[in-house]
Amino acid sequence: MAARPRPSALLPCASCARRLSVQGPSRPLLLQQVRGKKSAASRDVVVRLEQDVFKYGKKGRLIPLKRGTMRSCWFPEGKASYVDEATMKDVKAGKIIAERDFDFLPRASSSKLKPVEVKPAEVAFISPQTASNLLAQYIPPKIAFRRRLIETTQPVSPNQFAPERGQKEVVDEGYKSIFGSVSSGDVAASIRAALAEHKEAARIVFQDDDVVFTETQDGETDKVKTTGSFRVEVRIKGGEVVKTMVEVVPQTGKDSMGVHAEK
């Protein structure tokens, strides 16, 4: 059987002949140099910190660092120095760990810190008489609350709520029960919202207990549970009593439960 001719002995085509005449014969694949991507570790160099560096480590710590960063910045600035060959061998052997400390926070030198004088906050207090005057000036004359009514199907007898001996008769016409109540806290929040629009009046401090209902059907002074108009007193300690009116009206289908203050 005749031996097959070697590929190099075959005559190339005209195109291959022109390419070989210009570039020359290609080198064998095994002799060509193949360039690959360098790993991240090969681009780093182990250095020793010469000072505390934020989020890198304390002075004397060994860390891996980019060669370009070390050559151009850290070494000229004196932040780090190159390690000797013996230390590099120990790092490669795993005897010494070169690792960056991402949680390191250097402590500022006490000599560089300047004492800061802390001044107490100046709070301008309002006298009780001034607070009463401001309340009388800026408190709404009438605060309206909308509440949903409790529908009753059973008729109420006129003598069902007859007053006891010694008590005055209360006329129930126009008063209807509501879901929940309107409390002193609700009225106090409405008054604070109205005072917040004025710089000086906004500094008035009073508690929810300082708001008292003076005329209610059941005698309670901290809330009402029916519709109607009620007198309210704001009693500032050491000052004069300021009066206003609270009106609880039925909530309709289009209205949302809220507050309306007349100015």
Instruction: Find the mean pLDDT for residues 105-133.
Output: 70
48: three-class secondary structure by DSSP? strand
Residue 203 confidence (pLDDT): 87
The pLDDT assigned to 220 comes to: 86
pLDDT for res 106: 79
Indicate the DSSP class of residue 199. T
Q: pTM for the complete prediction?
A: 0.45
What is the pLDDT confidence band of residue 126, given thresholds at 50, 70 and 90? Answer: confident
Residue with tokens 């006329």, as numbered in its chain = 171
pLDDT digits (tens, 9 = 90+) for 143-158: 999 998 887 655 544 4
Which domains are present in the chain?
42-93 (3.40.5.10), 128-152+173-262 (3.10.430.100)
- Say how far apart CA 187 and CA 203 lie, in whole Å: 18
Nearest to 250 by CA among 188, 189, 177, 184: 177
- Cβ neighbours for 212, distance < 8 A, ≥ 6 positions apart: 184, 221, 222, 232, 233, 235
What φ, ψ does residue 222 adopt, rounded to 5°? -110, -5
